[in-house]
Chain A
Amino acid sequence: MSKSNLKSFEDPVRVFLDAVRKLHSLWLSWTYPFASVGHHFSVHYSCNLSRTVARYISIGNTVLIERDCRVDVPMVPKDFGPTILIEDGCRIGQSGTILAINRIHIGRDVIFGQSVLVMDHNHAFEDVSIPIACQGTTKGGTIRIEEGCWIGFGAAIVCNEGELVIGRNSVVGVNCVVTRSIPPYSVVSGNPARIVKQFDPSQGRWVLGSSVPVAQSRSAE
């Protein structure tokens, strides 16, 4: 028994690093001018979260941001109010990137896998005579991820115009590329994103999706 107890001890180096993480989180919540910040905010010390954009970011209670995440507002937004809203209980996995110039709203209890990209704008590329690096960004749209969603490993959610809504309790599969809205209670996967499973409230169970890309089914309507 004593041996198994000894085995389950955490590494002291790890405990020290957790303490560094805790200090970094406290430093951020006390000194950064966030639009709002809740309690138990935990952010890894290797995160790329700049103080100059903190006033455009609103963070709820018990939000967890893992290592190497980038939460950034690359251009000064025109609207008032927070540009990036992360509500209570969200978890953002390792190497996630959230870039907003208009508005990204992440609802309660949304969990992100690793290496997820959420961007509400893009690089402009229409002019063929100058490098894309000099062409600036597109106007972009807004993104809303409703509560209880799960965004899988490596997914990319990119909105070029209008509003992109991911309905509540939806699952975005691994390495999936989402550019259109997704209805609530659905499972999408693939590139381009297809609805592979959906909850039918009339039958009260999960049914197989139409396997039509979300983009096509939207344009047919």
Chain B
Amino acid sequence: MSETMSHAKNQPAHQPLEDPFWLTARMASKIRSLWMLWTYPFASVGSRFCAHYSCDLRRPIAPYVKIGDSVLLDREVWVNIPVLPDNNEPVIVFDDGCKVGRRCMISARNRIHFERNVIFAPSVLVMDHNHAFEDVNVPIKDQGITPGGTIRIEEGCWIGFGAAIVCGKGELVIGRNSVIGANAVVSRSVPANSVVAGNPGQVVYCPSEADKS
């Protein structure tokens, strides 16, 4: 009891008020989120969807994006589908509780699936295709993109600052509760509960290998 009393004493008498300008920005984000919720033709969208007003998600790609409950898209997130698919399958799926940090870029051609409670640090890249570069006579800009693969990030993962998850072909799975370190580059599947760091990315901790040793 006395401990809680002393803790209360250390608190300032009045919490400082939030800056009204900041509240305006919050309002703009709220309006943007509601606008997207009501007018964008998403494949499905859950409750408490929150997108920052500078977030870049074009309306034509919305039918291929599926969003769960309490998903957050922070400032300047870019969600992109370069080639619209023929069928109506969702291409980018965010399950409940995904938090996408600032300046992240998510670009999908086939399928990118974020399971529940995946959290992102700022400046993360997730791409399931790439630019083609095999023809040496044509600038890479005009060579189009590769067919690419699919990416699944299982639940509870944490993607560190500046990490890049790129899938050239096949399926890339990041196992549940894995941690991708800052500026790591992941181009192969990662087992569950492991820690990946470095460029090129290497698994630096994996519980199954830790048990053996």
Which of chain A's residues have a CB closer than 8 A to the CB of B134? 206
A175 touches B164 (CB 8 A): yes
Q: State the Cβ distance, A189 to closest chain B Cβ, in Å.
A: 7
Per-residue CB contact flags for chain A residues 159-203 toward chain B (1 = under 8 Å, else 0) read: 000000000010101111000000001010111000000010000
B105 touches A10 (CB 8 A): no
Residue A127 interfacial (CB < 8 Å):
no
**11 pairs, A vs B, C-beta closer than 8 Å:** A94-B78, A109-B140, A109-B142, A111-B131, A114-B103, A149-B140, A150-B133, A153-B127, A171-B131, A174-B125, A174-B199
Residue A121 interfacial (CB < 8 Å):
no
Per-residue CB contact flags for chain B residues 138-157 toward chain A (1 = under 8 Å, else 0) read: 11111000000000000000
A171 touches B133 (CB 8 A): yes
Which of chain B's residues have a CB closer than 8 A to the CB of A185? 136
Number of interface residues of A (CB under 8 A): 40
Which of chain A's residues have a CB closer than 8 A to the CB of B131? 111, 150, 171
A148 to B164, CA, bound (A): 23
Residue A78 interfacial (CB < 8 Å):
no
A176 to B142, CA, bound (A): 23
A7 to B141, CA, bound (A): 29
A111 touches B141 (CB 8 A): yes
Q: Residue of B at shortest CB range from A148?
A: B139
Which of chain B's residues have a CB closer than 8 A to the CB of A147? 139
A115 with B123, Cβ < 8 A, contacts A14-B59, A154-B183, A175-B162 known: yes
Residues of B within 8 A of A (CB): 35, 39-41, 54, 58-60, 62-63, 76, 78, 103, 105, 123, 125, 127, 131, 133-134, 136, 138-142, 162, 164, 166, 183-185, 199-200
A173 to B186, CA, bound (A): 12
A149 to B131, CA, bound (A): 11
Residues of A within 8 A of B (CB): 6-11, 13-14, 67-68, 89, 91, 94-95, 108-111, 113-115, 147-150, 153-154, 169, 171, 173-176, 185, 187, 189-191, 199, 206
A115 to B103, CA, bound (A): 9
A153 touches B105 (CB 8 A): yes
Which of chain A's residues have a CB closer than 8 A to the CB of B78? 94, 114
A150 with B185, Cβ < 8 A, contacts A174-B164, A189-B200 known: no
A199 to B137, CA, bound (A): 11
Q: State the Cβ distance, A128 to closest chain B Cβ, in Å.
A: 27
Which of chain A's residues have a CB closer than 8 A to the CB of B40? 11
3 closest A-B pairs by CB:
A148-B139, A109-B139, A174-B164
A176 touches B199 (CB 8 A): yes
Q: State the Cβ distance, B59 to closest chain A Cβ, in Å.
A: 4
A109 with B59, Cβ < 8 A, contacts A68-B76, A153-B125, A171-B133 known: no
Which of chain B's residues have a CB closer than 8 A to the CB of A154? 123, 125, 162, 164, 183
Q: State the Cβ distance, B23 to closest chain A Cβ, in Å.
A: 21
Q: State the Cβ distance, B138 to closest chain A Cβ, in Å.
A: 7
A190 with B200, Cβ < 8 A, contacts A147-B139, A154-B164 known: yes
- A8 interface neighbour in B39, B60, B127, B164, Cβ under 8 Å: B60
For A108, A113, A150, the residue with the greatest tally of chain B CB atoms inside 10 Å of its CB is A150
B141 touches A94 (CB 8 A): no
- B59 interface neighbour in A9, A113, A148, Cβ under 8 Å: A9
A91 with B141, Cβ < 8 A, contacts A13-B35, A206-B134 known: yes
B166 touches A174 (CB 8 A): yes
Please name 7 further chain A to chain B contacts, defined as beta carbons within 8 Å, in addition to the given A154-B123, A191-B199, sorted by A numbering: A10-B58, A10-B59, A94-B105, A109-B139, A115-B103, A175-B185, A190-B200
Which of chain A's residues have a CB closer than 8 A to the CB of B58? 10-11, 14
A149 to B105, CA, bound (A): 21
Which of chain B's residues have a CB closer than 8 A to the CB of A94? 76, 78, 103, 105
